[in-house]
Amino acid sequence: MNLRRLWTLLVREARATWRNAFTMTILVAVPLAALMVFGFVLSTEVKKLRLGVHDASGTASSRRLVAELAAKGTFVPRSFATPGSLDHALMEGEISAAIVIPPDFDRRLREAAAGGAPAELQVLYDGGETVLAGNSEAFLRTLALSTVAELSTGARAQTMGGPAAPLRVSPPAAAPPVSGGVSVVSRALFNPKLDGSRFMVSGTFGFVLSFLTALITAVSIVSERLSGTFEQLQVTPATSLEILLGKILPLGAVFAVDVVLMVLAAGFLLGVWPEGSIVFFVIVSSFYVLTSLSLGLLISATSATAAEAVQKTVLFSIPLVQLSGFAFPIRNMPTPVRWLAEIFPATHYIRVSRAIYLRGEGPLSLLPELALLTFFTLVLVAVALRSIEGRA
C-alpha cells in the first residue's frame, strides 16, 4: 500500500464530504437529532399523562385519591362532570386515560374496612394506543390501589381500631376481586385485548403511503428533469395542473390498488380487519396518497439528482416514523413536539387510519381530521404546481 496515494485519496474524500452541506447535515445533525428525539421526546414511559376524572363521590377520600394520583407526577388530572363527557374526551384524544369514582366510594370504603364489599373504581383507557394504554392502565391501577389501601387503613382504624386488612389487587384488565378495600375495574374503549398488530397495521398504512409514494414521485420527476422530458412538457400547451395530475393520478391509482391489497393481506394473513368501513378507509387512503405524491413532487423540485431525492426522502421519513404517532404515542410527547407533529399530514392520516381500524369511526366523527388532510393536500398541491411552473 502506498501511503502517499492513500493520503491523497483521504484528503479528497474529506474535502468533498466537508464541502457538501447536505451530506454533512445528514452525517452530523441526523444522529444528534435522532438521539435527542429518542431520548427526550419519544417515550412509552407514563409521565404527566392527562387523566380524566369523574368524581361522583366528591368526598374527602375521593379528593385525596385524585390528589395522590397527581402528586406522583404520573398523571395530570382534569375533572369531568359526567361519564359521557369523559368518554368523549378520551375518544377525542384530549385525555389519555380516565378514572371514574362512584358516588358511594366513601361509604363502600368504610364498609370494606368492616369486611363488606370493596369500593369499586373504574379505569378507562384508549386501547388504540396499545403500548401507552397498557402502561398507563397498570400505573393507574397500582397507584389507585396503593392510595386506597392507605385510605382503607385509616377507615379500618376508625371502624375497628385495629391494623389494616391485606388489600386484594385485581389482575390487569380482568374482573375485579370481590373483597378487600377496593377493586379496580378496567375498561378499554377500543381494542380491549390491547392487540398490538391492529395498532401497527393501521399505522403502517401511514408509513408506507407517506414514504413510498414520496420516494417514487421524487425519483420519477427528477429523472424526467434530467432526461429533458419534463422541460419539453413545460413548453407544450399542457397546464401545470394537467402535468401534475397526469403525473400523480396514475401513480395514485397504483397506490390505491396497493391499499386494497394491503387491507386484504392484513385481513387474511394477520386477521386484522378495519372495525369501520373498508370502502371509506380505501377512499381516505387514496386521497392521502395524493397528498404524499405532491410532497414527492416538492422534494423533486429541490433535488438535482435522483440520489439526492432518495436521500431527502429518507431524511423526511425519520420524523415521519418518530413524530407522526406511527410507532410512538404523540400524547406522551412534550407540548411543542406535539404541535410539531400536527404539521405532518402523516400524523392526521395515521390518526384517521387508526380511528377506522380500531374504533370503527366514520366520516362524521373524523370530519376535523379529514378537513385538515384536505387543507394539507391543497397547500401541497398549490406549492407543487408552483414548482412545476419553475419560473425563477
Partner 1 sequence: MSAPIISVRNLTKRFGDFTAVDQLAIDVVPSSIFAFLGANGSGKSTTIRMLIGLLRPTEGSIEVDGIDVIRHPRRVRDHIGYMGQKVSLYQGLSLRENVEFYAGLHGLAGRELEARWGALRERFRLSDAEAERPENLPAGIRQRAGLALATLHRPRVLFLDEPTAGVDVHSRSLFWELIREEADAGRTVFVTTHFLEEVDYCDWASFIDEGKLIANAAPEDLRRRYSEGYRVHIDGEPAQELTTPALDDAFFADELDPLLALRPGARVQIDTPSMTDVFRRVIAESAGTRHAQP
Binding site for partner 1 (CB under 8 A): 227-229, 231-239, 390-392
Q: Provide, rounded to whole angstroms, the least separation between the CB of residue 241 and partner 1.
A: 11
**Spatial separation of the C-alpha atoms in residues 195 and 215, rounded to whole Å:** 31
Nearer to partner 1, 17 or 302 (CB): 302
Cα(135)–Cα(45) distance, integer angstroms: 7
Cβ at position 385, least distance to partner 1 in Å: 13
Distance CA 230, CA 89 (A): 50
From first CA to last CA, the distance across the chain in angstroms is 50
Nearer to partner 1, 13 or 231 (CB): 231
Least Cβ distance, residue 251 to partner 1 (angstroms): 15
**Least distance (Å) from partner 1 to the CB of residue 257?**
21
| Closer residue to partner 1, CB minimum distance, 45 or 231 | 231
Rounded to the nearest whole angstrom, what is the least distance from the CB of residue 302 to partner 1 in the complex?
A: 16
Rg of the chain over CA atoms, in angstroms? 27
Closer CB to partner 1, 246 or 334, in the complex: 246
- In terms of CB distance, is 19 or 391 closer to partner 1? 391
**Matching residue, cell 401541497:** 380
Q: Select 25 or 232, whichever has its Cβ closest to partner 1.
A: 232
Residues 6+ apart with CB under 8 A from 128: 190, 191, 199, 354, 355, 358, 359
Q: Please enumerate, as own/partner, the contacts of 33-39 that have beta carbons within 8 Å and a separation of 24 or more.
A: 33/318, 34/318, 34/322, 37/319, 37/322, 37/323, 38/322
- The C-alpha cell at 17 is 464530504
How open is the CA angle 174-178-181, to the nearest 5 degrees? 105
Cβ 392 to partner 1 shortest distance, Å? 6
> For residue 93, which of 281, 364, 333, 340 has the smallest C-alpha distance?
333
Range list of β-strands (E), the chain: 49-55, 75-79, 97-101, 119-125, 182-188
Q: How far is the CB of 220 from partner 1 (least distance, A)?
A: 12
Nearer residue to partner 1 within complex by CB, 233 or 260: 233
